[in-house]
């Protein structure tokens, strides 16, 4: 093996021997040697970073994860702890360790735009790692640790700028967004050279096991075989993972996952319940009329628009109205028009919203404690704000599209002034609300991991109370079907990835 | 490093660099920087450029470092330093920069003054060897070579640190001229290090090779049967090669010429 000799010292020594420069101070000489002894990395194994971070106080599961990734996984891993266990801290520890050991000089961190500042802040403050936010004008040759939003990074000319750099470590947050190999995001990451690589996601499987295959194939292509072989083994029935144990073992070689219970930390409990609701007569009539639409007009025959409308009416008439009104414009036959018009009128005339009433009831029973409501629709969000306002309850809205300052402002308002925060789906990432412990899932998403993300906003480190989750579902509607599918998906996740904290209800269906 | 050690370190650092201590207790220190030290650690080149071009009165900064914020009872505005903090790392770097080369003479004991004392010349060098693949390990070797006899000893720094050394030679003390030139001596010490490396256990490198081959096999499997392998195949392969690339690096921390009586 080649030995690399550094010749700097020799040159300086010659200069002193020839009296061209002055000799140095003996005390500083000794101090320097003592510091080197102190900093010396005497072992290939073990973590150096904790002694450099005396203020940090990481949890044992975080240190253990960092060690596992570096020693057993050789620096290529999926960090898949449950939401709220501090994956950023794990990534920070690993990055710090590699920087200390000199194995990483340049690193690239890719995150959703809304989390850029949070990452910069944490790495700076907790890890003393200076991070530079990517700007086109900067010369990347002089930037060591660069952070960029993945949506920006994947576009030209940024893409090419980043490809030109020799990054030693790539960190990708919210990596479940890379589940689809046909997207630009996926392609961008696939073409990045990944010497060391960390993918962070609490939800490596959202719908099926192929998502995990795609994720692992980004990290370590071939680890789960190639697509054909994987498909032939696992796709016979999409949700029926037969070779569980084998697959699980392979996955465990590249993935670290802690559930709340593994951490040894005292967690407050999570009380999850499904609250089945019955439509009122009027609502039922409208729902049935909507379900009939596909037999009335070809405009509504597409399964997708049908399901959308059914889901919307389970939420609020406001949510359904927009879609229905739009589709009504496409109707041409007089009988179609008449039926739809009639439906729209009935819809407009609806006085009762059973779900909203239930939500109100839960809020009043919460004894003035803070409540978060998650809905899928902006129209329902607006409706609920108004509805609660009439009942004398102040609420604030929250959307992912809000700017950073507006989000901070809303969070502040919620903490200090309003009892209720009403968030749409896109609001469920990167906001931490440990001061609240009631969550109403007003609408159910198709994807159980979205529920987990929502709950993770409040049930995370720092939560002091038991957390109450209320999943509202209308009986005898599409929401029955959603519930069933959610259960199946949770089952797949648990078989392949591991235990999942309760998100739907305390009782799990076995599949 | 305990807060106390850090305090001692910082204190000595500024004293040795002629920066007067204005105020301190055991948990904080307030110093007046010299112009040189300000330029080295305060990171304000534009200020110094301005002062130099306008001929203004230079006004080097004062610096307050809090070495133990948990015990500090006074209300002091200053930078908190701890092991790993950027400021302390910077002072470590400056220490290295200002403490790399020495020429030292052993001081005769006070009782022995009348007799003539002859000192023997030595070259002492502190080496750091780094083994790295996807992991790293470092070793320090402090070697010294007698420039008269060519004898080499290990643990040189530890041996001389207990001696009373000074940067100028004492009265009535003389040193022998060396028979081995310092640069030649350095080559001999380098050879000792090289020999040491050859004798070391290199299982770490073999393990890295095994892991590399295994990971490349996994990669090949992914692209099996594909005639024209895409660019990603080549970049992944390159990444794996870099990930496990074995390297041995030798650096010299510091070293110097020593004229000694006791060794």
B12 found inside a domain: yes
Q: Which of residues 51-80 of A touch B (CB under 8 A)?
A: 51-55, 70-71, 74-76
The torsion angle over the Cα atoms of residues A424, A429, A434 and A440, rounded to 10 degrees, is: 30
Instruction: Flag whether pLDDT at A500 surpasses 80.
Output: no
Q: Which long-range contacts (CB under 8 A, 24 or more apart) does B86-92 make?
A: B86/A128, B88/B6, B88/B10, B90/B41, B91/B9, B91/B10, B91/B13, B91/B41, B92/A32, B92/A35, B92/A39
Residues 6+ apart with CB under 8 A from A458: A372, A433, A434, A436, A437, A439, A467
Q: Answer whether residue B92 is part of any domain.
A: yes
Residues of B in contact with A10 (CB under 8 A): 183, 186, 252
Provide the mean pLDDT of chain B: 93
| Closest residue, chain A, to B250 (C-alpha) | A5
Give the nearest partner residue to B101 out of A23, A52, A53, using CB atoms. Answer: A23
pLDDT in tens, A276-285: 999 999 999 9
Q: Report whether A127 contacts A53 (CB < 8 A).
A: yes
CA distance B113 to chain A (A): 24
User: Is A379 within 8 Å of A321 (Cβ atoms)?
Assistant: yes
| Average pLDDT over chain A, rounded to an integer | 89
Both tokens of A21, joined, read 């420069």
Phi and psi dihedrals of A370, rounded to 5? Answer: -70, 145
Instruction: Choose among B231, B242, B249: nearest Cβ to A195.
Output: B242
Residues of B numbered 187-206 whose beta carbons fall under 8 angstroms of chain A's beta carbons: which are they?
190, 194, 197, 202, 204-205
Residue A506: what pLDDT?
62
- Six token digits for residue B204: 């770490």
Distance (Å, rounded) from C-alpha B83 to C-alpha B209?
35
From the CB of residue B45, how many other CB atoms can be counted at a distance below 10 Å?
A: 9
CATH of A49-263, one of 3.40.50.280, 3.30.56.10, 1.20.1730.10, 3.40.50.10810: 3.40.50.10810
pLDDT tens figures, B204-234: 999 999 999 999 988 888 888 788 888 888 8
Instruction: Give B235-250 pLDDT, tens digit per residue.
Output: 889 999 999 999 999 9
Q: What is the mean pLDDT of residues A232-248?
A: 63
Instruction: Answer whether B247 touches A (CB < 8 Å).
Output: yes
Q: What is the pLDDT of residue A243?
A: 61
Judged by CB atoms closer than 8 Å, whether chains meet at A54 and B205 is answered as: no
Q: Residues of CATH 3.40.50.10810 domain(s) within chain A?
A: 49-263
Q: How many CB pairs under 8 A join A and B?
A: 201
- Domain assignment of residue B212, yes or no: no
B9 CB near a chain A CB, below 8 Å? yes
Q: Which fold has domain A270-276+354-496?
A: Rossmann fold (3.40.50)
Instruction: Give kind and range of the element (H or E) at residue B118.
Output: strand B117-132
| Predicted pLDDT of residue B244 | 95
Domain that holds residue B52: 3-98
CA distance A418 to A373: 13
Least confident segment among A20-29, A188-197, A453-462: A453-462
- Check CB contact of B5 with chain A, cutoff 8 Å: no
In a domain, B44, yes or no: yes
Q: Say if B16 falls within a structural domain.
A: yes
A13:B242 CB<8 A: no
- Would the CB atoms of B165 and A128 count as touching at under 8 Å? no
Look up residue A191 and give its two tokens: 């073409």
Chain B contact set for A21 (CB, 8 A):
101
Q: Is B16 on the interface with A (CB under 8 A)?
A: yes
ipTM of the complex: 0.94
B253 found inside a domain: no
Contact flag A41-B137 (C-beta cutoff 8 Å) = yes
User: Cβ of B253 and A75 within 8 Å?
Assistant: no
The CA–CA distances, whole Å, from A503 to A202, A447, A469, B181 equal 13, 11, 8, 76
In a domain, B161, yes or no: no
Please give the pLDDT value at position A235: 61
* Residue B58 covered by a domain: yes
Q: How many domains does chain B have?
A: 1
pLDDT digits (tens, 9 = 90+) for A308-350: 999 999 999 999 998 888 888 888 888 888 888 899 999 999 9
Closest chain B residue to the Cα of A228, Cα to Cα: B222
Among A12, A42, A52, select the one facing B101 at the smallest CB separation.
A12
């Amino acid at each position: 093996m080649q030995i690399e000799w550094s010749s700097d010292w020799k040159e300086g020594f010659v200069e002193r021997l020839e009296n061209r420069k002055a000799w140095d101070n003996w005390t500083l000489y000794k101090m320097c040697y003592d510091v080197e002894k102190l900093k010396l990395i005497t072992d290939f194994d073990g973590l150096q970073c904790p002694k450099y971070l005396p203020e940090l106080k990481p949890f044992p599961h975080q240190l253990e994860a960092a060690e596992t990734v570096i020693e057993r996984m050789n620096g290529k891993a999926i960090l898949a702890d449950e939401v709220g266990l501090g994956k950023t801290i794990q990534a920070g520890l690993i990055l710090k360790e590699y920087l200390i050991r000199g194995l990483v000089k340049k690193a690239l961190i890719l995150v959703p735009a809304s989390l850029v500042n949070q990452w910069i802040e944490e790495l700076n403050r907790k890890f003393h790692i200076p991070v530079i936010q990517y700007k086109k004008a900067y010369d990347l040759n002089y930037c060591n640790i660069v952070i960029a939003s993945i949506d920006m990074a994947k576009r030209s000319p940024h893409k090419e700028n980043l490809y030109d750099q020799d990054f030693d470590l790539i960190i990708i947050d919210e990596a479940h967004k890379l589940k689809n190999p046909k997207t630009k995001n996926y392609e961008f990451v696939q073409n990045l050279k990944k010497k060391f690589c960390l993918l962070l996601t609490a939800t490596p499987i959202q719908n099926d096991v192929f998502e995990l295959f795609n994720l692992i194939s980004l990290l370590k292509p071939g680890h789960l075989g190639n697509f054909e072989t994987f498909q032939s083994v696992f796709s016979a029935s999409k949700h029926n993972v037969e070779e569980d144990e084998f697959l699980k073992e392979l996955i465990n070689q590249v993935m670290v996952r802690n559930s709340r219970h593994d951490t040894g930390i005292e967690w407050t409990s999570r009380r999850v319940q499904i609250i089945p609701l019955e439509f009122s007569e009027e609502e039922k009539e409208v729902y049935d009329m909507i379900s009939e639409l596909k037999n009335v007009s070809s405009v509504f025959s597409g399964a997708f628009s049908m399901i959308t409308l059914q889901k919307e009416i389970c939420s609020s008439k406001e949510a359904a109205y927009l879609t229905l009104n739009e589709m009504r414009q496409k109707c041409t036959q007089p009988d179609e028009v008449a039926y739809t018009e009639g439906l729209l009128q009935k819809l407009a005339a609806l006085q009762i919203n059973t779900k909203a009433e239930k939500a109100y009831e839960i809020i009043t029973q919460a004894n003035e404690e803070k409540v978060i409501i998650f809905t899928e629709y902006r129209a329902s969000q607006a409706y609920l704000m108004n509805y609660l306002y009439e009942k004398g309850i102040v609420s604030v809205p929250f959307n992912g599209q809000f700017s950073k300052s507006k989000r901070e402002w809303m969070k502040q308002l919620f903490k200090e002034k309003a009892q209720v925060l009403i968030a749409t789906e896109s609001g469920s990432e990167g906001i931490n609300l440990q001061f609240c412990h009631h969550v109403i899932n007003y609408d159910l998403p198709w994807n159980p991991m979205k529920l987990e993300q929502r709950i993770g906003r409040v049930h995370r480190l720092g939560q002091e109370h038991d957390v109450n989750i209320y999943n509202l579902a209308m009986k005898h509607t599409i929401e029955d079907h959603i519930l069933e599918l959610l259960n199946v998906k949770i089952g797949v996740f648990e078989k392949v990835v591991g235990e999942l904290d309760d998100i739907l209800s305390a009782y799990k269906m076995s599949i | 490093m305990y807060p106390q050690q850090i305090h001692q370190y910082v204190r000595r650092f500024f004293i040795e660099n002629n920066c007067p201590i204005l105020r301190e207790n055991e948990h904080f220190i307030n110093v007046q920087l010299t112009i040189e030290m300000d330029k080295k650690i305060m990171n304000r080149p534009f200020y110094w450029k301005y002062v130099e071009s306008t001929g203004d009165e230079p006004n080097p900064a004062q610096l307050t470092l809090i070495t133990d914020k948990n015990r500090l009872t006074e209300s002091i505005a200053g930078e908190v330093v701890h092991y790993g903090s950027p400021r302390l790392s910077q002072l470590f770097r400056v220490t290295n920069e200002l403490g790399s080369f020495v020429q030292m003479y052993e001081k005769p004991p006070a009782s022995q003054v009348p007799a003539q004392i002859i000192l023997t010349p030595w070259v002492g060098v502190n080496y750091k060897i780094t083994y790295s693949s996807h992991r790293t390990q470092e070793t320090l070797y402090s070697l010294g070579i007698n420039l008269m006899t060519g004898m080499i000893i290990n643990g040189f720094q530890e041996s001389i640190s207990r001696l009373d050394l000074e940067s100028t030679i004492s009265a009535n003390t003389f040193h022998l001229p060396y028979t081995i030139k310092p640069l030649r001596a350095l080559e001999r010490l380098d050879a000792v290090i090289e020999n040491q490396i050859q004798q070391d256990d290199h299982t770490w490198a073999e393990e890295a090779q095994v892991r590399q081959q295994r990971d490349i096999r996994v990669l090949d499997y992914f692209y099996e049967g594909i005639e024209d392998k895409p660019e990603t195949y080549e970049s992944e392969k390159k990444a794996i090669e870099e990930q496990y690339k074995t390297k041995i690096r030798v650096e010299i921390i510091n070293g110097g010429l020593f004229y000694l009586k006791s060794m």
